[in-house]
Structure 1
């Protein structure tokens, strides 16, 4: 690989725009690929804004050769829509960094990347799309990656940017911890409320019970999570701005498909695999699935 690796990004939504802006700010502007030919991307943050020049490419046929590093920032519900992009952007020398939710990123993307290495990640920052199509970054961006040779390519690309990168020898545990946080956020969809809802004592009690269920499944899957994790996650929601949303809530309010399976259904599925009862998931998952897919 050259000293200046070629970088592409699929999916310039909230997370994708944040990463693209971090790269552009230090002179490593990625090739942008997506559904809509935006002339530019705009990231707003506490001290100003960053404009990433476009255009966003919309036709995989415009890609002349594979890239060294490809960030995938589409939701898991959209993977089928980017198969042509992955085929054009990837070969066996590419590293594909999945900026996606869940603990199954590698198995989801591996069939489509022409033998490229798929690198999962955990995204630790809230960014939300605004009505004017800009993105509002509400906290300092940070990624966690597994401690592997492929991760060094991402570390190098994001070095000296506003997005920090942590490497973990126990990535599985960290990925499951984030999944627990995402899973309990599904309650916001069912109530159609933002983070302020967790101030209710009854919602706090439900969240803690659900997180305990998720924790049991996560441990069976190999995650080394402590007993304190459910309370820590609920405390974080208590401390969040009352108007803080989540991507799955935004999708529900826009009547888009929901990532219910990768965020919530996975707990139910793994519970069945390990013979663990999941009574709360057995209520939550069908309701989220119906909210996503109907009928009705």
Structure 2
């Protein structure tokens, strides 16, 4: 990557705003690309408010590409709509970092971009959009990337920023662990409740049973996760502030399509492919799909 890389963030929502602010505070202000024109972005984090200058571009044809590095921060359901941005921003030397949920990031994005590399990530921070359009970063920002040469430019771009980078030799296991957490968070979208609900004994028992079902699929897909992981994830939910939500709940509350397939449907799909029963998924997934339709 060049000494002064050209960087873009596609999708200036909660996650995209956090990464854009991290880049801006270290002097690597990115090009902002999205659906809605805005003068800039604002992040409220542990060190105060960071204002990222815009504007947010809305026309892919107005961008002079290709760029060195693109952070794709749209939801998996929005990738088709973001395809024109990928066409304008990416070239044979571009690295695309996918800031999405799921374990199928490379597969989904690679089919739509002509880039040097598509690098998946695991996002470990709670960022929430606020009514005034700003974003509230409620905890430390951290990204995990596979320990591959293509991930190095991403680490360099975010070095010294509010968003720390970890390179994982066993990225598969970490990605599946995060997927288990996201799958269990899907129960929030079904109930319309926040993290406090996991403190109920009955919801806790259901969550544990569901996570053990997901764990069996994760292991079949090559993840090295111990028997303790389901309880650790449930304990994590119970330790969260009772009012903390998740992106899939926010989408339900806003009437947007849900990422049910890449967070929950994937468990049932891969279970069927491997002949592993997933009885809880067979109930949860159709209900989430119906909720998304509504």
Q: Pick the TM interval, shorter chain.
A: over 0.9
Q: Output one character per residue of 1:17-60: Cα deviation in whole Å (capped at 9) or x when no partner.
A: 00000110111000000001110101012331100011000000
- In the TM superposition, structure 1's runs of 4+ consecutive aligned residues that sit over 6 Å from their partners are none
2:44–2:135 CA contact under 8 A, matched in 1: yes
**Inter-partner Cα distance in structure 1 for 2:238 and 2:225:** 21
1:157-176 to structure 2, matched below 5 A, reads 157-176=157-176
**Inter-partner Cα distance in structure 1 for 2:155 and 2:163:** 10
2:7–2:30 CA contact under 8 A, matched in 1: yes
Cross-structure match for 2:257: 257
State the Cα distance separating 1:126 from its structure 2 match: 0.3
Cross-structure match for 1:41: 41
State the Cα distance separating 1:114 from its structure 2 match: 1.3
**Inter-partner Cα distance in structure 2 for 1:115 and 1:139:** 32
1:129 and 2:129 aligned? yes
**Inter-partner Cα distance in structure 1 for 2:250 and 2:52:** 24
State the Cα distance separating 1:64 from its structure 2 match: 1.3
1:103 and 2:103 aligned? yes
**Inter-partner Cα distance in structure 1 for 2:210 and 2:249:** 18
2:95–2:115 CA contact under 8 A, matched in 1: no
Instruction: Give the TM-score normalised by the residue count of structure 2.
Output: 0.99
**Inter-partner Cα distance in structure 2 for 1:148 and 1:46:** 30
Q: SS in structure 2 opposite 1:198?
A: helix
Cross-structure match for 1:266: 266
Cross-structure match for 1:181: 181
2:96–2:115 CA contact under 8 A, matched in 1: no
Cross-structure match for 1:239: 239
**Inter-partner Cα distance in structure 1 for 2:201 and 2:65:** 55
Q: Output one character per residue of 1:81-119: Cα deviation in whole Å (capped at 9) or x when no partner.
A: 011000000011010000000000001011211143100
Q: Which runs of no fewer than 5 residues in structure 1 stay unpaired? A: none
State the Cα distance separating 1:221 from its structure 2 match: 0.4
**Inter-partner Cα distance in structure 2 for 1:29 and 1:4:** 10
The alignment covers a number of residue pairs equal to: 294
Instruction: Give the TM-score normalised by the residue count of structure 1.
Output: 0.98
Q: SS in structure 1 opposite 2:125?
A: coil
State the Cα distance separating 1:4 from its structure 2 match: 1.4
**Inter-partner Cα distance in structure 2 for 1:189 and 1:116:** 37
**Inter-partner Cα distance in structure 1 for 2:95 and 2:115:** 10
2:180–2:214 CA contact under 8 A, matched in 1: yes
**Inter-partner Cα distance in structure 2 for 1:93 and 1:47:** 35
**Inter-partner Cα distance in structure 2 for 1:5 and 1:134:** 26
Q: SS in structure 2 opposite 1:136?
A: strand
1:75-154 to structure 2, matched below 5 A, reads 75-154=75-154
Cross-structure match for 1:277: 277
Q: Once superposed, what is the RMSD of the aligned Cα atoms?
A: 0.7
**Inter-partner Cα distance in structure 2 for 1:136 and 1:268:** 33
**Inter-partner Cα distance in structure 2 for 1:103 and 1:5:** 28
Cross-structure match for 2:210: 210
**Inter-partner Cα distance in structure 2 for 1:31 and 1:282:** 42
